[in-house]
Amino acid sequence: MLFGIQNGKKLIYALVIAFAFVLLTFNFSLAATAAAKHYTELQLPPLPQVKLPKYERFVLRNGLVVYLMEDRELPLIGGTALVRTGSRLEPADKVGLADFTGEVMRTGGTKKHSPDELNQILEQRAASVEAGIGEASGSVSFEALTEDLETVFGLFTEVLREPVFAQEKLDLAKNQEKGSISRRNDDPHAIASREFRKLIYGKDSPYGRTTEYASIEKISREDLLKFYQQYFYPNNIILGIVGDFDAKKMRSLIQAKLGDWKPNPKLAKPQLPQVTQANTGGVFIVNQPQLTQSNIFIGHLGGRLDNPDYAALDVVNGVLNGFGGRLFNEVRSRQGLAYSVYGQWSPRYDYPGLFIAGGQTRSQTTVQFVKALQAEIKRLQTQRVTPQELAYAKESTLNSFVFNFENPNQTISRLMRYEYYGYPSDFIFRYQKAVAATTAADVQRVAKEYLKPESLVTLVVGNQKEIQPPLTQLSAQVTPIDVTIPPAQPQAKN
């Protein structure tokens, strides 16, 4: 009997405890539910002010500009020499010369080390030295563990000052480029991007021209040496180094390795090529019968980053793009014409960039897609953005601003670029303030001033037979573009 009573008491105690636990949990859930708010009601503190890490800037007697920024988080050091050159300065009949010069600077070895020796030393230390020349600048860079700095920095300065441009490495680079030319029509998006630049800048413009078999054949080792000797001088270079080092010791190392490099007192700032829009309108087609969808670019010549209205134009980008943007909402979600669609005012530092909109759509919806893009561009000019659209566009930029400062490399690279192109060192902060101050009236004003519906060039890469309704619904004249790759030597006429 006692055993039964004791068991009964245990059962009652257990039930009481369980009930109390349920009641407590229920009350806690009610309190949590009552306290929960919609994300739009949350009050968040303002973002902290971004502060630049400390850095030094000085100039050697030979004119070499140096930026140093210490970062002791990891035992690593990296640096880049930014050279005032670029493929836009190469001769028109030798397109590819700048690219080969940058590549073979590194792959061709130096006066003290053959290519194999250079590679072996770097591989043993898990280090790197790289070189290249792009459209508007050249660079030579290095990365190394702190303990290997002197060795790797020495190799870096050899590549920068004493490249030998080995003939066999140039031959290899030319063969690889020929392979790239032979495959350049494999990707429809690459075709569209390449041919659109030609339509806007002109096929003979440095910003639109492409390498061909014939131009590659004309390039010799002597051409590489001449191009190198034209631009690679200390008074034509900005050097930036970030990492785990003592600034005083780094100064001494730079002076020891680069201080005796002779400048070129006659070096003149190169005359940049003039830019005008080659085609002010028109519809163009690259017929690719094997495709089931069209790759579409529409746009016109754009502007530069130093335009006072750049921030407002960037807010225009925010209104057009993203999951809450007009193009996504209208062209993708409402009309269901494309998975990916975009519109971008894309400026450059020292020459006009592009305004370009586009995406991919089924062959049968090509004309509808183009008309939808045109309509949204015009709507920016006629229909003022709503407060919600403006807030979304500005906040997406301002809230992501901090990611411009994720690591010291980003900061020092930006400072170097600003000096390279003659921009103020606080340009990015001026841009931030201008975005914050942009109004709906500003957005409509710059859309009216800078977007040119009458000058839009339309390029379609797709299956012309399957594009129904036909492109003639966009324009009475549709101009075909032949992307056949020219042979190395012109074929003799019979």
Q: For 282-480, which CATH superfamily applies?
A: Metalloenzyme, LuxS/M16 peptidase-like (3.30.830.10)
Backbone angles phi, psi at 243, to 5 degrees: 145, -160
Between CA 367 and CA 373, with CA 369 as vertex, the angle to 5 degrees is 115
Question: For the segment 43-94, what is each residue's pLDDT rounded down to a tens digit?
Answer: 767 666 777 889 999 999 999 999 999 999 999 999 999 999 999 999 999 9
The pLDDT of residue 266: 93
**Residue for token digits 């042979």?**
487
Question: For the segment 93-107, what is each residue's pLDDT rounded down to a tens digit?
Answer: 999 999 999 999 999
Of the chain, the percentage scoring pLDDT greater than 90 comes to 84
Whether pLDDT at 36 is above 70: no
The pLDDT of residue 17: 52
**CA gap 322, 341 in Å, rounded:** 9
The pLDDT of residue 228: 98
Q: What residue spans in the chain does CATH classification 3.30.830.10 cover?
A: 56-258, 282-480
Under 8 Å CB-to-CB from 152, ≥6 apart: which residues? 122, 125, 127, 129, 142, 143, 144
The pLDDT of residue 492: 43
This prediction's pTM:
0.87
Under 8 Å CB-to-CB from 404, ≥6 apart: which residues? 50, 410, 414, 428
CB 224 within 8 A of CB 101: yes
**CA gap 49, 61 in Å, rounded:** 37
Q: How confident is the model at residue 493 (pLDDT cuts 50, 70, 90)?
A: very low
The pLDDT of residue 406: 85
Q: How confident is the model at residue 37 (pLDDT cuts 50, 70, 90)?
A: confident
Q: How confident is the model at residue 491 (pLDDT cuts 50, 70, 90)?
A: very low
Q: How confident is the model at residue 28 (pLDDT cuts 50, 70, 90)?
A: very low
Alpha-carbon Rg for the chain in angstroms: 30
The pLDDT of residue 44: 66
Question: For the segment 186-214, what is each residue's pLDDT rounded down to a tens digit?
Answer: 999 999 999 999 999 999 999 999 999 99
Question: For the segment 304-335, what is each residue's pLDDT rounded down to a tens digit?
Answer: 999 999 999 999 999 999 888 999 999 999 99
Q: CB atoms < 10 A from the CB of 3, how many?
A: 7
The pLDDT of residue 371: 97
* Secondary structure (DSSP) of 304-335: BTT-TTHHHHHHHHHHHSSTTSHHIIIIIIIT
Helix, strand or coil, per DSSP, at residue 285: strand
Whether pLDDT at 23 is above 70: no
Query: Which of 3.30.830.10, 3.40.190.10, 3.40.50.10490, 3.40.50.300 would CATH assign to domain 56-258?
Result: 3.30.830.10
Q: Is the dihedral of CA 166, 170, 171, 172 positive or negative?
A: positive
**Residue, of 339 and 264, whose pLDDT is higher:** 264
Mean pLDDT of the chain: 91
Q: In the beta sheet, which residues pair with residue 360? A: 295
Q: How confident is the model at residue 177 (pLDDT cuts 50, 70, 90)?
A: very high
**CA gap 141, 134 in Å, rounded:** 14
Between strands 293-301 and 138-145, the pairing is unpaired
Whether pLDDT at 456 is above 90: yes
Helix, strand or coil, per DSSP, at residue 462: strand
The pLDDT of residue 141: 98
**CA gap 22, 437 in Å, rounded:** 53
Whether pLDDT at 336 is above 60: yes
Across 418-435, average pLDDT:
96
Residue 457 identity (one-letter amino acid): V
Under 8 Å CB-to-CB from 6, ≥6 apart: which residues? none
User: For the ranges 20-34, 146-160, 296-310, which has the lowest average pLDDT?
Assistant: 20-34
Whether pLDDT at 451 is above 80: yes
Q: How confident is the model at residue 404 (pLDDT cuts 50, 70, 90)?
A: confident
Q: Is the dihedral of CA 193, 196, 202, 203 positive or negative?
A: positive
Containing H/E element for 293? Answer: strand 293-301
Q: How confident is the model at residue 35 (pLDDT cuts 50, 70, 90)?
A: low
Q: Which two tokens stand for residue 366?
A: 């090509």
The pLDDT of residue 149: 98
The pLDDT of residue 403: 85
